[in-house]
Structure 1
Amino acid sequence: MAKLFWGQIKIEKATALFFYEPHSEMSRIILSLKYLDHPETGELMGRMLAEEANRDNFFDGIDFIIPIPLTRKRQRKRGYNQSMEIARGINEITKIKIISNAVIRKTFKTSQTKMNRWQRQANVKDVFAIGKKFDLNNKHILIVDDVVTTGSTIIACAQKIAENYNNVKFSVMSLGFTKH
């Protein structure tokens, strides 16, 4: 998964709990989390992900967790941010501080589920902005998302952070990683 980010962001580590395949049992977990009003699934899966990654010292050196943000409108409609729920589970195990408002999502253009790599990059171009100012200079940030397919969303978010802070390193964690 880390290869998706090479040459795009300063990537340290990347991991996912499982390979994501549509219509699989694991895809039903993501569906439940995102669309069937089960935020507790995110927290549970986040704890499982953190326990698994902790075995390999994945979290060593990570300063903060930043979940991929939703737009305010989308979060109001859903009632929660699935990436934040996953981050909460990770935090329970690691005690690494979550910063939920360092980056905001200005717009949501359209779902990326049926888009190719180039369409996804265009879809997330300029959708993120810096929110509340934190001292992220020289920090190692763990970006958390539910599923990584092409990495476009994470790259756009990380690039916005890197534009505003010096010498930031990134690691990435998600529940699912789509096989190509």
Structure 2
Amino acid sequence: MTKKNTIWNRLLDTILPRHCSICDSRLGFDEKAICGSCATRLPRTHYELTADYNPMTVLFQGIVPIEKAVAFVHFNPHNASARLIYAIKYYRHPDYAMAMGEIMAKELLSSGFFNNIDAIVPVPLSRRRLHQRGYNQSEYLARGVSKITSIPVITKALRRKHFLQSQTMLGHTERQKNVENMFVLRDASALSDRHILLIDDICTTGATAMACIQEMQVAKNIRFSILTLGLTDH
């Protein structure tokens, strides 16, 4: 960042101060989405230490083939991560998603989680949902990860056909039925012979990720890993 841009950004930050998405305190100039205090209190899973076998990978065993799976934080409606994730998902803060993608990537880099990943695919939204929300939060998470890792993001190969019902209030079986045949692979060649990292905001039962992977398996010689910002406590 040039000196001129730094001065401008500091001035802008003075005029339009940014606030922590969790505690609402004013962010420091170098802080993004969350303040340093809240960042240290996020309920991290540390699944990157056992990325090939942990409570998240167990969700997919025997259903779809994955090599690694990591959720960055535990999620429930009452912990510190909930307000952050709700701000990203429902309150028009793609900037928070981008920032959290960067934060996740920085913290996971030293574990080797991104080794051998060739491309990132964010879970797509339907056109209707994209129009309502104005952005795909999973894509912004992916672009934040890409900014740190330089792994390319592919957004055109997989498409969500339509939006039927939010997964939020559905049970395990209902979630699976809700996303059956929901995705279509538009460009198998873009994913063939690659290790794909599928990125989403929240994993609850894994139904959405499973549906994406089942469709992407059409591509030749493809491998899968998964990264989400949160995993719902079961």
**Does the TM-score normalized on the shorter chain lie above 0.5?**
yes
Mapped to 2, the partners of 1:132 and 1:116 lie a distance apart of: 32
2:104 corresponds to: 49
Match in the other structure for 2:222: 168
Post-superposition CA distance 1:80-105 (Å, at most 9, x none): 00000100100001000000011000
Question: Is 1:9–1:170's contact at 8 Å kept on the other side of the alignment?
Answer: no
Q: Is the 8 A contact 1:42 1:89 kept in 2?
A: yes
Superposition RMSD on alpha carbons, in Å? 1.0
- Count of residues in correspondence between the two structures: 179
Task: Give the corresponding residue for 1:22.
Answer: 77
Deviation at 1:106, TM superposition (A): 0.3
Q: Distance in 2 between matches of 1:135 and 1:78?
A: 27
Equivalent pairs: percent with the same residue?
42
* Higher-strand-fraction structure: 1
The TM-score, its normalising length taken from structure 1, stands at: 0.96
Which residue in 1 is equivalent to 2:211?
A: 156
Greater Rg over alpha carbons, structure: 2
Query: 1: CA distance between counterparts of 2:207 and 2:184?
Result: 15
Instruction: Give the alignment's TM-score, normalised by structure 2.
Output: 0.74
- Name the SS of the counterpart of 2:111 in structure 1: coil
Rounded Cα–Cα distance in structure 2 between residues aligned with 1:147 and 1:80 = 16
**For residue 195 of structure 2, what is the aligned residue in structure 1?**
140
Deviations 1:62-120 (A, max 9, x none): 11100000011111111100000100100001000000011000011101111111110
Higher relative contact order (CA 8 A, sep 6+): 1
**Gap runs ≥5 in structure 1:** none
- 1:1-180 map, 5 Å: 1-162=56-217, 164-180=218-234
Q: Does the CA-based 8 Å contact 2:157-2:191 persist in structure 1?
A: no
SS in 1 for 2:67: strand
Q: CA deviation at 1:138?
A: 2.5
Structure 2 gaps, min length 5: 1-55
2:51 corresponding residue in structure 1:
none
